[in-house]
Structure 1
Amino acid sequence: MDAQSYTTALAELRAVRDDIKKAQTALARLEAQRDKQIALLAGYDKAKAERIAPAAGLSLAEIVVLAPALAPDNLAADQPATPAPAQGTTAAHDSPGDDPYPPAAQAPTAMPPTPSAPVQEASSASPLPAEAPSLPAQQQAGAPADPGAPRTLPSIPQSEAGQGWFTHTANLVSKRPNFTQQARPTVFLDTDTGLLVHRNQTHRLDLGAGTAAEILTAVFHTIPEGVERIYITAGDPWHRDADRYPYLRDAVTAWLNAPTPGWRTDTGRGKDRMAGHFAHPRHPVARYQREDADQHVEIRSVGEWFDVDGDDPATVRDAFVLLWQALRRHWSDAVVMGSPSQTGRDLWTRTIPARGQHAEGYPVLSEELRGLLHATAGQGRTELITPPQVPDQLPQLVEYDRTFAYAKHTWKSPVGTPCRVTSHTFASWSEKEQTKALFGCGHWQVRVTVPDAWQHVGILPAPAPGERAWHYPHTPGTTFTTWAGGPEIHTALSNPIQPWKVEILDGILWEDGKPLDDWAKKLKETWTNLTAQAHFQGDAQQARAAHLASRAVRAILLYGIGSFAQRPRMVTGTTPRTLERDIPADAEIIGFDDERITWQRPTGFSRDPNAHPEWAAAIWSGARAALLTQRHRDDNTYAGALYTEPGSVVAFRTDAVYLTSVQNWPYHHQPGDYLLKGHLAGPLAAPGSEEDLLALRDAGRTALAASHKEA
């Protein structure tokens, strides 16, 4: 073979690779659809693995892995029997050596970033820990995981190495800032109509095809003194060529990386050092810097803050003005930054005490504990319950949404150096000490058994097949091992129906503190004031602006809490096809076109001084528990899914629960209250997918709004 033949063969090999990538993507989509269908069939009480296996083209063993409840009786009979402890007790697991869920190995050291040739990078949150004590040994060694196999959550090593996790990262502390955040000149642009609002002026621009280069040219021609932030209020220009790409993210990446004469990708500056593009499929961030001047600008979606429903750029501008004015009543140096998460975290740092306890700041946990929390502390509960757990025909669908829900759970958070509570230690405590610990700020590894007579929804999250998937076992007699926060474990032990069996295997316990209380109270007051302004404002446009501003406050708190979780970073980059050899060796190719290859690679945890996943985990746990049971002290009553009839819960979606009946739950416009948000009369076919549920949800909200207008 000569050099020319070698080059030709390489080109042919790349074409085969591209075809394989497309085929693998299509196959993965079909397999996910098949597995979803199997899970649906497994919910039928007379389902048999022997009938489903040939229909799915899988072996009996593969069906059982996907749906353990379908295991044949003779297979279950071969398992050794273990006596079931009395229900409703909190027992300790005293024999780590007998644990069928052995602790995972210590987390491997994160790889340092690999420099690459002409690459534009975007930092984003990874769905998987880049360095996680959660991965089994074969996955740490690089072996592919079985996507259908249930995940095993990590444990804390039993050796002294595990005790070494219970510390803080050296020289990494959340401190009150000693500088004033600078506001950035901002414009609001509708790329559908070309309307641009700058301060009190409105302009109409010719944006051509809506590329980043055309937007920058038009804006800076109209505003010669320059701006630093361009909010896109409508139009989503990064989706203009979506039909040409298999995935929305590929279209966004192509738009971000298209040529911008006179500009290059921003490399960051100052204390708010944000560099590179952020390739989110719906809310990307494009960051540019002039090649011949120290001028920086970013193009962002206003959808990060709130949903715009036909609002013009002037109304959106007014919403941001009202937001800034309302925040200034509580923070004299408040600045609305680019995103809700940036703004929320900046405002929080300005509530860190200047004197007294915690004046020196809040230390950041060890990387190992942060990795453990990332792998074992899920966020909102998202679950669709299908027949036969609910009727095939629903009498109605009623949506209750918890207003400003996370603000209800910020009054207490973990602080200080955590301590480990082993099963032996927990068992040695008195009942009073155990109860106090479970009511405190803790994160617990537990073995759970669903009561034999249980007929309602699941209570505790368990790892499901998938990278970050969770489900909520509810089948009587089911036993599983998981991690959960104190609020959920307390709900399992003291729910209004029947106590669950919970065994403490291990735990992390902190002191109780209030690091978020002042921040959250100020945001709640801001939200209350803007909500009232939206309700009583006589001018329709200003009322709408106040409503949008109140939604922005909600986003500040919601995404601010999420930013504390500080997941491991995944760097996304593009490389020209002619420089394919420069792609980092540990990168995964996630897209390509005729000119560029898009890849991603994990870079582990950054040294973020405001990384506090223990706070986010505690709030998420409290919010999930409140979906099941929540006491209203002023009304001396309870609300939540466990106070409904069995079989009446259709779905959970983070802060909302969908039911087949109307509830008489109190609503006083306070954070955490259940608001009736949608009501659709039946009979209705039970939703079989998330798309079906969202369609019914939208119809229910429309129907409820129409009934209010008629009233």
Structure 2
Amino acid sequence: MDRKTYTAELAGLRELRTEITAAEKQVAAAQKELDRLAALRSRRVAGLAGYEGAQAAPIAKASGLTLADVVRIAPLLDPTPAAVRAAKADDQVAAAPVQASAPPVEPAPVAAPAVAIAPALSRPAAVIEQLAPVDAEDQAPAEQPAPAAAAPAAAPVAAPVEPVVSVAPVAPVAAVPRAAVEAGPRELPTLPEGPAGARFEAVTTGLVSTRPKFTQQARSTVFLDAAAGMLAVRDHVVRLDLGARTPGEILDAVLATAPGTERIYITAGAPWHDGAERYSTLKDAVAAWLNTPSQRWTTAVGSGRDRLAGHFVHQRQPVGRYAPAAAPDSGTTEIRSMGEWFDADGADAVTCRQAFTLLWQALRRHWDDAVLMGSPSQTGRDLWSRTIPTTGKWAGGYPVLSEELRGLLHATGGQGRTELILPPRVPEQLPALVEYDRTFAYAKHLWKSPVGTPRRITARAFAAMTEQEQTKALMSCSHWNIRVTVPAGWNHVGLLPAPVTGDRAWVYPATPGATFTTWAGGAEVHLALSNHLMPWKIEILSGLLFEDGKPLDEWGKRLKAAWADLTNLSKLHGDERQRQAAYLASRAVRSVLLFGLGGFAQRPRLVSGTTPVGEALPAGVEILGRDETVVTWQRQAGFSRDPYAHPEWAAYVWSGARAALLDMKYRQGKEVIASAGALHAKPGSVVYFGTDGIALTERQPWPYRGEVGDYLLKGHLSGPLAHPTSQEQYLKLRGLGRAELARTGADQ
């Protein structure tokens, strides 16, 4: 080829590039139009479900969908008889006991992408147990997040219901069903090549977390024991007649005594469970209670462009928002559960009110403008926003990642580890059941977090690094797509999460030779390569490397100080009521941190609401129930343009939490004085992982200094004991172990 031909070919290549770009734009436009039409069809199908005589078959034929697709969009149209569905569900439950020790996950062979073998790393003096563990053995319930997807939904309308994001529910999350595990591995999204991949190394234009320029306004709040009818308001207690304990009767009684009340916390009694036996699910019972008709009260609605009903339907901790029927715009009164903040554990309404007072006073010592909002999630995020720096690199705020990258993190960043390990990996008869719980664990791991736009690390780029550079990358704020092989001779617990079919279900393979592909944070990957037992084989497929920053450090320090103040007060105060109130307040600080961190994840959520019968339902809703006046529904809220959405922070903390559950160092200055965690117990002695706690068959020599992150002996149940075969059985044994330890003391 001569120069003239070369020049001509270049010119032709440029023309071809222009044509390809134009074609790509046409394809993108067509795809956008297709998505719009498909969404419109789904909305119309959901709307047809509101007709009493609607049937799935003709709707499927008219829409061009399958019957299964129609039922998925509008479950109310499911033609399967309710009795058959219930029997099938019972059969599935009976056939699917808790699966904790998962069999090896071995995906079918596929064409192998480029990989880089990560070297076995020597354990450096300062390692990753500081990177970020989680706190939560009994994390409070909140709205259940919708299943995460690889790519986020299109920008949804902002939801008026409270965006309570759970880190875990009050009752610990059930372990993975065996049926889900046997169904095989779940494929996780990967980083695409080309222009599409560039969006995974970007932030959202014009969306930044900035320091607020206003002060939150406190709301008039009272505390009601609905079982005893006792109302704690300001400095006195009043007995109320609550009638049948419907929302309307509670509001009438409370506001007659305390006019202007904007928030009512139910400390005991759970009136939303009254008559629950009449409903097929607890959620149906709660929805019916929230929507009990009242002549004087109506459902409060949101403001702005999304005027939807304001109730939040949850099995145990619902939120009811009501306005006077005669003047719905005159103000809102909320009915909420005290359990959002802490388990009252028999404390009366006066003690709960005193706990709130102590909580506010403790936070005020560290935030001049601290205000207790409706939930710990809202409070935590508001307090964090007031620690955004006013000087330095991030004085303008922290940028929010692109929707594509947030979707990837939601799909690949699991939360706490909950796993029941079954025989033969542990004995059929346990010599004892000993529970250790990490104290205020999240607070230990907020000192460093990812900030800014991540840099993509390919397998080739990782392979080209020196071992020192690889170690530094793994110890930095990072997220890795890896292929894992459990080493031959391994006889301990699994180290890395493997995805299986189910709603973001994860297992921890430990069988030698098991191979699986997953995503994990640098803390976990580094631990798998450098643990003191034997290194695992890790193949790096790709990764995201962030800049190390301290966006949560100041927030964490202030919350730790408030927690320490209240914890000390709960031990030293001379008045028993004040000691109990201080203890409850310290638990509330824990919830503020726990759910505040979960709020950063901003997972796609299920939003619930009500619409008057006869009015058009919002798009894409699932009908939960109906009565003479309203239809109760839920829908996926997806992602919104939330300036405080930082799933990279939550994912980083959760990953470090899982690593610290396996291996944590106690330090005195720079010197390591002790080690703790599952890998420091004998093989075959670990029975259960519960996010920030471990249950074993024997006591461990792990010191407890009362500092955040320390392992505290929480329960000891003497054996021999039959190994629990389900989550429920374990929880019963755990309760017995805590009671036995309380009776006998720690020195058995």
TM range (shorter): 0.7 to 0.9
**Cα drift, residue 85 of structure 1:** 10
Q: Which moves more between the two structures, 27-36 or 200-209?
A: 27-36
Tell me whether 1:645 sits opposite 2:706 in the alignment. no
1:214-233 correspondence to structure 2 within 5 Å: 214-224=249-259, 226-233=260-267
2:707 to 663, 670, 679: 670
Residue 59 of structure 1 aligns with which residue? Answer: none
Corresponding residue of 2:338: 302
Determine the structure 2 residue equivalent to 1:33: 94
Mapping 1:384-399, distance limit 5 Å:
384-399=420-435
1:188 to 2:256 alignment? no
Counterpart position of 1:20: 81
Aligned to 1:502: 538
The whole-number CA distance in structure 1 between the counterparts of 2:298 and 2:196 is 46
Deviates more, 1:601-610 or 1:310-319: 601-610
Tell me what 2:294 maps to.
260
1:275-424 matched pairs, under 5 angstroms: 276-291=310-325, 292=327, 294-424=330-460
Q: For 1:191 and 1:500, how far apart are their aligned partners in 2?
A: 55
* Equivalent pair of 2:482/2:541 in contact (CA under 8 Å): yes
Give the Cα separation in 1 of the matches to 2:408 and 2:340.
28
| Separation (CA, whole Å) in 2 of partners of 1:598 and 1:264 | 14
Q: Contact conserved, 2:310 with 2:609, CA < 8 A, in 1? A: no
Q: Contact 2:97 / 2:726 at 8 angstroms: preserved in 1?
A: no
**Where in structure 1 are there 5+ consecutive unaligned residues?**
1-6, 44-66, 91-103, 128-144
Deviation at 1:246, TM superposition (A): 1.3
Answer with 595-604 or 233-242: which moved more.
595-604
Note closer, same or farther for the CA distance 1:17–1:515 as it changes in structure 2 (3 Å cut).
closer
**Which residue in 1 is equivalent to 2:154?**
110
Between the aligned partners of 1:81 and 1:19, the Cα distance in structure 2 is: 43
Residues 116, 463 of structure 2: 8 Å contact kept: no
1:198 aligns with 2:259: no
Structure 2 CA distance for partners of 1:604 and 1:278, relative to 1, 3 Å: same
What does residue 238 of structure 1 align with? Answer: 272
**What one-letter code is carried by the residue in structure 2 that aligns with 1:31?**
Q
Q: Distance in 1 between matches of 2:53 and 2:648?
A: 53
SS at match of 2:192: coil
Counterpart Cα distance in 2 of 1:437 and 1:401: 30
Task: Classify the secondary structure of the residue corresponding to 1:418.
Answer: strand
Partner SS for 2:745: helix
Q: Structure 1 residues 620, 22: closer, same or farther in 2, change over 3 A? A: farther
Task: Give the structure-2-normalised TM-score.
Answer: 0.79
Q: In structure 2, how many angstroms separate the alpha carbons of the residues matched to 1:28 and 1:17?
A: 15
* Deviation of 1:432 (Å): 1.1
User: Where does residue 602 of structure 1 map in the other structure?
Assistant: 636
Write the distance in 1 (CA, Å) between the matches of 2:384 and 2:556: 9
Residues 240, 253 of structure 2: 8 Å contact kept: yes
For residue 299 of structure 1, give the secondary structure of its aligned residue in structure 2: strand
Distance 1:365 1:85, change over 3 A: closer
The verdict on how the C-alpha distance between 1:36 and 1:88 changes in structure 2, with shifts beyond 3 A counting, is farther
Distance 1:327 1:106, change over 3 A: closer
One-letter amino acid of the counterpart of residue 569, structure 1: R
SS in 1 for 2:434: strand
2:181–2:500: 8 Å Cα contact kept in structure 1? Answer: no
Question: What is the correspondence of 1:568-583 to structure 2 with a 5 Å cutoff?
Answer: 568-574=604-610, 579=614, 582-583=616-617
Does residue 538 of structure 2 align to residue 477 of structure 1? no
What does residue 557 of structure 1 align with? 593
CA–CA separation in structure 1 for the residues paired with 2:564 and 2:482: 39
Question: Could you say which residue in structure 2 is the equivalent of 1:696?
Answer: 733
After superposition, the Cα gap between the structure-2 partners of 1:211 and 1:500, relative to the gap in structure 1 and judged at 3 Å, is same
User: Which stretch of structure 1 is more off in the superposition, 485-494 or 286-295?
Assistant: 286-295
- Separation in 2 of the partners of 1:593 and 1:462? 44
Q: Deviations over 1:34-83 (max 9, x none)?
A: 2438x68x97xxxxxxxxxxxxxxxxxxxxxxx66799xxxx9x99999x
Q: Quick check: 1:123–1:570 contact (8 Å CA) kept in 2?
A: no
Taking only the aligned residue pairs, the percentage that are identical comes to 57
| Aligned partner of residue 524 in structure 2, secondary structure | helix
Contact 2:309 2:609 in 1 (8 A): no
Shift of 1:662: 0.1
Q: CA deviation at 1:429?
A: 1.1
Number of aligned positions between the proteins:
638
| 1:656-675 CA distance string (max 9 Å, x none) | 10000100101100010000
* TM-score, length-scaled by structure 1: 0.83
AA matched with 2:85: Q
Cα drift, residue 295 of structure 1: 1.9
Structure 1 residue 33: deviation in Å? 3.3
Q: CA deviation at 1:288?
A: 1.5
Q: CA deviation at 1:267?
A: 2.5
Change (3 A) 1:264 1:392: same
Structure 2 CA distance for aligned equivalents of residues 69 and 151 of structure 1: 10
Match of 1:660 among 697, 708, 711: 697
Tell me the distance in 2 between the aligned counterparts of 1:433 and 1:69: 31
Please state how far the C-alpha of 1:613 moved relative to its aligned partner: 0.5
Kept in 1, the 8 Å contact 2:226–2:271? The answer is yes
SS of the equivalent of 1:534 reads: helix
Equivalent position amino acid for 2:88 in 1? L
User: Does the aligned pair in 1 maintain the 2:116–2:459 contact within 8 Å?
Assistant: no
Alpha-carbon distance in structure 2 between the residues aligned to 1:682 and 1:381: 26
- What is the deviation of 1:150? 2.7
Residues 437 and 694, structure 2, Cα contact 8 Å, conserved in 1: yes
For structure 1, which segment, 663-672 or 562-571, has the greater mean C-alpha deviation from structure 2 after superposition? 562-571
**2:226/2:268 contact within 8 Å kept:** yes
What residue identity is the alignment partner of 2:549? G
1:454 to 472, 477, 490: 490
Q: Paired residue for 2:31?
A: none
Work out whether residues 124 and 570 of structure 1, in 8 Å CA contact, stay in contact via their aligned partners in 2. no
Change (3 A) 1:163 1:15: closer
Q: Alignment partner of 2:545: what SS?
A: strand
Secondary structure of 2:541's match? strand
Measured after TM superposition, the shift of residue 231 of structure 1 is 0.5
How far, CA to CA, are the matches of 1:476 and 1:597 in structure 2?
53
Q: Quick check: 1:164 aligned with 2:164?
A: no
Question: Which residue of structure 1 aligns with residue 130 of structure 2?
Answer: none
- The CA deviation string for residues 398-425 of structure 1, in whole angstroms up to 9 with x for no partner, is 0000000011110000011111111111
In the TM superposition, residue 571 of structure 1 has moved relative to its aligned partner by: 2.4
- Looking at structure 2, the residues matched to 69 and 508 of structure 1 have their Cα atoms a distance apart, in angstroms, of 24
Q: CA deviation at 1:582?
A: 4.2
Going from structure 1 to structure 2, the CA distance change for 1:205 and 1:508 (only over 3 Å counts) comes to same
* Alignment CA distance shift 1:648-1:282 (3 Å): same
The alignment yields a C-alpha RMSD, in angstroms, of: 3.4
The equivalent position to 1:684 in structure 2, one of 708, 721, 725, is 721
Listed as ranges, the gaps of 5+ residues in structure 2 are 1-50, 58-74, 122-147, 168-179
Residues 30 and 584 of structure 1: CA distance in aligned 2, closer, same or farther (over 3 Å): farther
1:277 and 1:612 map into 2 onto residues whose CA distance is 26
**In structure 1, what is the Cα distance between the partners aligned to 2:181 and 2:426?**
31
Instruction: Tell me how far 1:427 sits from its aligned partner.
Output: 1.1
Q: Among 145, 150, 161, which residue is 2:185 paired with?
A: 150
- 1:486 corresponds, among 513, 519, 522, to 522
Instruction: Kindly indicate whether the alpha-carbon contact (under 8 Å) linking 1:415 and 1:513 is maintained by their aligned counterparts in 2.
Output: yes
